[in-house]
Amino acid sequence: MRLLTRRALVPATLLVLCAGIPAAAPADTGSTPPVATAPQVTVMTWNVWGAEDGVPSGWRKVLRNQRADIVSLQEICKNQADRLRQQLRQDRLDYQLTWREANWHPFACRGGHQGQAVLTRKDKVRVVAGSVEPFEYKSSDSQYRGYVALTADIDGQRVRVLNTHPWNDTGGWTKPTSNVQELANLSKRWTGPQILTGDFNAVPKMMEPLYRDGGFRDAADPAPDPWARPGRPTYKKMKLDYILYRGGPETVGQTQVLSSPSSDHHLVLATFRLSGSP
């Protein structure tokens, strides 16, 4: 019997080592469809306290730094909202402005009206035609109160967004205001995802109709019973500013409550993942 030479030994050894390895599967030439990801949107609400002419430099800086997709502003003058939008364009942030006139101000706005503004980033959010709806509250104070609602299309998913600045007509801080109850009733007429924003002039216990009857959740202070908790303050030692949601959106990360020297209110900033059907 002839012995294997060293040259012949190498291929023979490879045959033994490879004998137990199955043959490689043929390459899959078919394309794998991409995994669909739920769109995300960042929402901000801020009472800017626009009781002066012009646009405070801090407003532009805050909005430029946060780069929110939907920005709800209260107590802002129309000329201020227009100018702020122009300034943000210089920062390559192109927003569409939705405006609702509210109360006349004796010294702000050059003797004009304050109101609620909603800024929506054009590269991320499309305001559906015919969806802007101004509403008036039954209000007994000297200010003309109300809210504005719009339908936002975000990557094929539609969300109702509302910006409000109601009034505390209870004479205290213990029971729901008539404006909060109006919002709870109105929200029942809308189907699909909803996000309510604004300075509600109500502490959490006064927001109970929106939590319990309306089924809304609180982005900044999630809890099974948010009406029974003080929450993070947004004005002095009280929580008055909210981002509430229901019907599909889910928060991503922790909602921020941030102070700015440009206003007496903190701003609230939340990121949502939209899981509803387009």
pLDDT, residue 275, reads 78
Q: At 17, which helix (H) or strand (E)?
A: helix 6-18
pLDDT, residue 15, reads 38
With contact defined as beta carbons under 8 Å apart, do 117 and 79 qualify?
no
Show pLDDT as tens, one digit a residue, over the chain (278 residues): 443 444 444 444 433 334 444 444 455 555 555 556 789 999 999 999 876 667 888 999 999 999 999 999 998 988 889 999 999 999 999 999 998 877 776 666 776 778 889 999 999 999 996 667 766 665 555 566 778 889 999 999 999 999 999 888 888 999 998 889 989 988 888 888 999 999 999 999 999 999 998 999 999 999 999 999 999 999 999 999 999 999 989 999 999 999 988 899 999 999 999 975 44
pLDDT, residue 78, reads 86
> Can you say how many angstroms the Cα of residue 22 is from the centroid of all Cα atoms in its chain?
54
pLDDT, residue 137, reads 64
Question: To which residue do tokens 């101000």 refer?
Answer: 105
For residue 242, give Cα distances in angstroms to 56, 197, 215, 231, 260.
23, 6, 15, 10, 17
Phi, psi (deg, nearest 5) at residue 15: -65, -40
Instruction: Tally DSSP H helices, then E strands, for the chain.
Output: 5, 14
Q: Coil, strand or helix: which one is 64? A: helix
What is the pTM assigned to this prediction?
0.83
d(CA 54, CA 262): 13
Point out which residues pair with 100 in neighbouring strands.
Answer: 116
pLDDT, residue 141, reads 57
pLDDT, residue 46, reads 97
- Which amino acid is present at 87? Q
pLDDT, residue 145, reads 72
CA angle 78, 79, 83 (to 5 degrees): 120
pLDDT, residue 3, reads 39
